[in-house]
């Protein structure tokens, strides 16, 4: 069977698939050229990440497709139910990238409280006066230890983030309709010992009122989960991190709150108009930015490739 990995696949995954008898093509085919390429090359398995869109028209144009695989979590670039209604299997690799996304959130948190995103841009080539100006500008950083992190959506990534945040001495609370009371988070230490900490589940308003930092880890939604009304309920000088999906934070409301000083910082890995974020978001000195790279670590890519290969092999060798 032929596989087109249109947004790439880690060599570890390719090796596993080839050893199992699949042919893997890693050409990057332009979106509009996909139907012709898939049909002419008799591709039966289409693997994508977030760049390639697998909408109804592509599904209809490629009747030979048997499986669509999304390396990673969010399947909002695929018409999942439609594909399944046509008898095409749709799979993803939900667990492989959770730790990478959680580490990126911690990087945004540590970066923003010490202004790393801004000071990297402004460090002078030379000049004692400018150096000392910046030294003064960035001298009121804050520590994470002892602060409260509110996690909205404590699924795979949320729990991984909770583990890291608890490990550096933060207090963690969460809001998630799937859970009641608390979620057990197990911290493993390198000497083989472990400790389990209960992260309390609170309602959204309590989370907003109590948190110094709010991080979102929920699926894509039609309308923002955090808008003006929710920001008004947050602590003054709090911060928001969004490494889930762009539309779930109202960017206009966020910028207003940063300009007015209601919020101190924001960390964004995802944006409303990806891949073209608003200029005001890009230029804002209080916003720490990354270009949707939450899952993009060497380790996560290896795990994604291997998990995807394993899923495909077991699906077709049933
Ligand atoms: P998950 O399904 O394991 O967890 C999501 C959790 O959110 C669930 O527990 C669910 O009950 C909860 N939830 C749903 N709606 C909610 C709401 N309105 N309020 C509070 N909680 C709510 O998913 P995950 O693997 O943890 O992924 C979370 C998000 O991260 C997804 O949007 C995914 O697309 C995104 N993601 C981003 C990157 C990146 O590169 N930045 C990488 C992977 C995943």
- ipTM here: 0.99
Among 143, 229, 274, 299, the active-site one is 274
- Distance, in Å, from the CA atom of 163 to the CA atom of 170, rounded to the nearest integer, reads 10
Predicted model pTM:
0.91
- Distance, in Å, from the CA atom of 94 to the CA atom of 189, rounded to the nearest integer, reads 25
Q: Which domains are seen in the chain, by residue range?
A: 2-94+298-316 (3.40.50.720), 98-289 (3.40.50.720)
User: Tens digit of pLDDT per residue, the chain (318 long)?
Assistant: 999 999 999 999 999 999 999 999 999 999 999 999 999 999 999 999 989 999 999 999 999 999 999 999 889 999 999 999 999 999 999 889 999 999 999 999 999 999 999 999 898 888 899 999 999 999 999 999 999 999 999 999 999 999 999 999 999 999 999 999 999 999 999 999 999 999 999 999 999 999 999 999 999 999 999 999 999 999 999 999 999 999 999 999 999 999 999 999 999 999 999 889 999 999 999 999 999 999 999 999 999 999 999 999 999 986
Contact call for residues 39 and 64 (beta carbons, < 8 A)? yes
The backbone torsions φ and ψ at residue 186, rounded to the nearest 5 degrees and listed phi first, read: -95, 125
Check residue 125 and give its pLDDT.
84
* Ramachandran quadrant class, 231 (left: phi over 0; alpha: psi -120 to 50; beta: rest): alpha
Residue 232 Cα to ligand 1 midpoint, Å, equals 23
Helix (H, G, I), strand (E, B) or coil at 163: helix
Helix (H, G, I), strand (E, B) or coil at 92: strand
- Distance, in Å, from the CA atom of 248 to the CA atom of 242, rounded to the nearest integer, reads 8
Which protein residue's CA is at the shortest distance from atom 10 of ligand 1?
Answer: 153
Check residue 297 and give its pLDDT.
95
Identify any residues that bridge with 47 across adjacent strands, giving them in sequence order.
Answer: 5, 69
Active site residue 274: yes
218 CB within 6 A, ligand 1: yes
* Ramachandran quadrant class, 186 (left: phi over 0; alpha: psi -120 to 50; beta: rest): beta
Residue 23 Cα to ligand 1 midpoint, Å, equals 33
- Distance, in Å, from the CA atom of 308 to the CA atom of 291, rounded to the nearest integer, reads 24
Which protein residue's CA is at the shortest distance from atom 12 of ligand 1?
Answer: 153
Residue 217 Cα to ligand 1 midpoint, Å, equals 4
178 CB within 6 A, ligand 1: yes
Active site residue 292: yes
304 CB within 6 A, ligand 1: no
Check residue 126 and give its pLDDT.
86
């Amino acid at each position: 069977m032929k596989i087109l990995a249109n947004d790439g696949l880690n060599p570890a995954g390719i090796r596993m698939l080839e050893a199992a008898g699949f042919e893997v093509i890693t050409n990057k085919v332009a979106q509009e050229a996909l139907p012709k390429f898939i049909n002419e090359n008799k591709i039966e398995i289409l693997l994508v990440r977030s760049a390639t869109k697998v909408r109804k028209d592509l599904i209809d144009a490629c009747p030979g497709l048997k499986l669509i695989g999304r390396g990673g979590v969010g399947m909002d670039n695929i018409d999942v139910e439609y594909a399944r209604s046509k008898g095409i299997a749709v799979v993803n690799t939900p667990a492989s990238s959770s730790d990478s996304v959680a580490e990126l959130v911690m990087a945004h948190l540590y970066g923003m409280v010490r202004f790393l995103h801004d000071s990297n841009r402004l460090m002078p080539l030379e000049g004692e006066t400018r150096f000392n100006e910046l030294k003064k500008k960035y001298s009121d950083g804050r520590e994470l230890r002892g602060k409260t992190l509110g996690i909205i959506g404590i699924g795979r990534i949320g729990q991984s983030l909770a583990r890291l945040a608890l490990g550096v001495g933060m207090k963690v609370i969460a809001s998630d309709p799937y859970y009641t009371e608390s979620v057990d988070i197990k911290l493993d230490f390198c000497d083989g010992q472990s400790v389990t900490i209960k992260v309390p589940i609170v309602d959204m308003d309590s989370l907003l009122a109590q948190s110094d930092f709010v991080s979102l880890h929920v699926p894509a939604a039609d309308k923002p989960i955090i808008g003006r009304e929710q920001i008004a309920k947050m602590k003054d000088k709090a911060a928001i991190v969004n490494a889930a999906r762009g539309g779930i934070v109202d960017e206009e409301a966020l910028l207003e709150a940063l300009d007015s000083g209601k919020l101190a910082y924001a960390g964004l890995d995802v944006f409303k108009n990806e891949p073209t974020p608003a200029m005001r978001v890009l230029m804002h000195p209080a916003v720490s930015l990354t270009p949707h790279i939450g899952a993009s670590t060497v380790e996560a890519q290896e795990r994604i490739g291997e998990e995807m290969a394993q899923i495909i092999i077991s699906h077709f060798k049933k």
